[in-house]
Chains A and B, each alone.
Chain A
Amino acid sequence: MNSTHKILLVDDNPADANLTCEVLATSERPAQVNTVEDGEQALEFLHRNGKYAEASRPDLIILDLNLPRKDGRAVLAEVKADPELNELPVVIFTTSHSPRDIARCYELGANSYVSKPGNLGQFFSAVRSIENFWFGFASLPD
């Protein structure tokens, strides 16, 4: 797969979203990142409803957990329960280290769970690793 890969980034914190985008923008593989700020928008985007009618289906979802309105757990549950969407890989990327969150997310079908590191260097390498794994090594469904 040589075309530009598409990432849906769901994060309500512009500071974190910005850092994540910075790393993705400097990747050697061209990426198109769409950022939405809450769970409802994320599902609208995925279902191409309303203003997202023209949106294209992403190859990967990077999902924060604590979001306004509909939180990440609910988004994850809906995506994984939807036969149209459930094969999309979802990476949870969140501040929470809570064992309960981790267990719950895998139970709901998350494809991996990454806690946002506090240190800038580690934050960058975490995002780079996610990008590198899913687009450099993993095989994805068409």
Chain B
Amino acid sequence: MSSATINGERKNGGTSRGLRVLVIEDAPADAEIEIAELRRNGFEVYADVVDTADRVRERLARTQYDVILADYNLPNFRGMDALDILRQKNLNIPVILVTGALSSEIAVDCVKQGATDYVLKDHLARLSASVRRALEETRLREERARVQRQLADKVEELARSNTDLEQFAYVASHDLQEPLRMVSAYTQLLAERYRSKLDETADRYIGYAVEGATRMQALLEDLLAFSRVGRNGESRALSDANIAVNEAIKNLTIALKEQGVIVTCTPLPTVPADRFQLVQLFQNLIGNAIKFRGKAIPRITVSAERQGEEWVFSVMDNGIGVAPEHRDLIFKIFQRLHTRTEYPGNGVGLAICKKIVEQHGGRIWVDSELGQGSNFRFTFPAAAADRADKKEQAHELYAQNSAGR
């Protein structure tokens, strides 16, 4: 079959290598007309014409075609068979049925089965537009697939680097503990056994070394706790937030009593969350509210409200508040806004809260002004059953309303 180029222009066909067409047709004259029609419309056509399934397979193995034009019904081949062959070979080439006569029912059926389009032989003027559209659709589909592949790769890469990071934090803090314990133990031993046997400066230096090692140990323990959030948070069973808050309050009893804190808790929902992590979340937030209390008697209110498909929880206090420029900063690990003498701690509590919430598909933020108290808010997706319930209730309400009318 001719591969000559009638039209030298390369503006059509989508690619600079021209348009590669496989024509499945037993009437050479018909094939010629189809090719001529395409060339007349500016396509630089390279075409092969075949009329049996074997030849189709043979051709597909050798050439990357841009489009296939198939007669619907040949003595040795049905146009739709081309689709099966393409599927078997996992090829994604648009097939346009070019046929003498076709009932609209059969035509629609062919498109349903995967043909891109059909063109009647006595309406060949449509052919070029049809090919152009098929090429454009293929290009878009390939582009979409490429973007999706890239996205999937990125997600996988991100997940891997996250796991690596967690693994690193866990192993590092684990392996660092032993040598650190040596430093800590022996400086403490020095401090105990050689106090005032050297001079004052030596005592002070040893004191710094002990303090540094002790603080480092606390940091490592916190880092371990932080990395463990990612390792143990698999459970998505339903947890009752009321029980979690009570548990958190119980764990904080001493601090709550010492400061005379008043905690108010409105009824809370049950959410799909790891029970222990939920306790830790409330405990860190309530603990922070106690730690960063203002001059007034500390008041903490825990509540939740339903917003669409999620629950928005709130832990509100009347403490020292957070300046607007620090509202994001406070959720970063090891981020502190105060010296250790003002407020103890390593700046891990809120980072753990953020990790817990985000791991359950929620968000956490703070509404606050300096000196005006803080309202820590976070979301949890509503339980699936819970969502259905709400819809049913809404339905019932609606039914009652309409019945009343």
Write the residues of chain A forming the contact surface with B, with a CB cutoff of 8 angstroms.
Answer: 13, 15-16, 19, 95-98, 116, 118-121, 123
Which chain B residues in 164-211 approach chain A with CB under 8 Å? 174, 177-178, 180-182, 184-186, 188-189, 192
Tell me if B303 is interfacial: C-beta within 8 Å of chain A: no
Contact of A119 among B182, B184, B192, B224 (CB under 8 A): B184
Q: A99 — nearest CB in chain B belongs to which residue?
A: B232
Query: Which residue on chain A has the smallest CB distance to residue B228?
Result: A99
A-B contact pairs, 13 of them (CB 8 A): A15-B182, A15-B186, A19-B185, A95-B174, A95-B178, A116-B181, A118-B181, A118-B184, A118-B217, A119-B214, A119-B217, A121-B188, A123-B185
Contacts known (A118-B217, A120-B188); A95 close to B182, Cβ less than 8 A: no
Could you count the A-B residue pairs with CB atoms below 8 Å apart for me: how many are there? Answer: 35
Give the distance in Å from the alpha carbon of A118 to the alpha carbon of B224 in the complex.
Answer: 14
- Smallest CB-CB separation from A96: which chain B residue? B174
With a CB–CB cut-off of 8 A, which chain B residues contact A116?
181
The 8 A-B residue pairs whose C-beta atoms are closest, nearest first, are: A120-B188, A15-B182, A95-B178, A118-B217, A120-B185, A118-B181, A95-B177, A118-B184
A98 touches B174 (CB 8 A): yes
List the B side residues contacting A19 at CB < 8 Å: 185, 189
Q: Which residue of B lies closest to A124 (CB)?
A: B185
Report if A118-B180 is in contact (Cβ < 8 Å); known contacts: A96-B174, A98-B174: yes
A120-B186 Cα distance, complex, nearest whole Å: 8
Which residues of the partner chain B approach A96 to less than 8 Å between Cβ atoms? 174
Most B CB atoms within 10 A — which of A15, A97, A120? A120
The answer to whether residues A13 and B178 also contact, given A118-B184, A118-B217, A120-B184 and a CB cut-off of 8 A, is yes
A119 to chain B, nearest CB (A): 7
Name the residue on B nearest A122 (C-beta): B185
The distance in angstroms between the C-alpha atoms of A118 and B222, with both chains bound, is: 14
Give the chain B neighbours of A13 by CB distance below 8 A.
178, 182
List the B side residues contacting A15 at CB < 8 Å. 182, 185-186
List A contacts of B185 (CB < 8 A): 15, 19, 118, 120, 123
Task: Assess the A120–B189 pair: CB atoms within 8 A.
Answer: yes
Query: Complex formed: what's the CA distance from A16 to B184 in Å?
Result: 12
In the bound assembly, the distance between CA atoms of A121 and B188 in angstroms comes to: 9
A135 and B182 alpha carbons, distance in the complex (Å): 27
Q: A15-B182, A95-B181, A118-B184 are in contact. List 12 more A-B contacts (CB 8 A).
A: A13-B178, A15-B185, A16-B182, A95-B174, A95-B177, A98-B174, A116-B181, A118-B181, A120-B185, A120-B188, A121-B188, A123-B181
**How far does the alpha carbon of A119 sit from the alpha carbon of B214 in the complex, in Å?**
8
Report chain A residues within 8 Å CB of B174: 95-96, 98
With CB as the reference atom, state the residue of chain A lying closest to B220. A118
Task: List, in ascending order, chain A residues with CB within 8 A of B177's CB.
Answer: 95, 118
Q: In the assembled complex, which residues on chain B have CB atoms less than 8 Å from the CB atom of A95?
A: 174, 177-178, 181
Chain A residue, CB-CB nearest to B186: A15
Q: How far is the CA of A15 from the CA of B179 in the complex (A)?
A: 9
Question: Considering the chains assembled together, what is the distance between the CA atoms of A19 and B182 in angstroms?
Answer: 10
Q: Which residues of A contact B189 (CB under 8 A)?
A: 19, 120
A121 to B192, CA, bound (A): 11
Residues of A within 8 A of B182 (CB): 13, 15-16
CB distance from A10 to the nearest CB of B (A): 15
Bound CA span A32–B217, Å: 33
Q: With a CB–CB cut-off of 8 A, which chain A residues contact B192?
A: 120
Contacts of B188 in A (CB 8 A): 119-121
| Shortest CB distance A95–B (Å) | 4
Determine the distance from Cα of A123 to Cα of B178 in the docked complex, in whole angstroms. Answer: 13
Residue of B nearest to A15 (CB): B182
**B181 CB contacts on chain A under 8 angstroms:** 16, 95, 116, 118, 123
B184: which A residues are within 8 A, CB to CB?
118-120
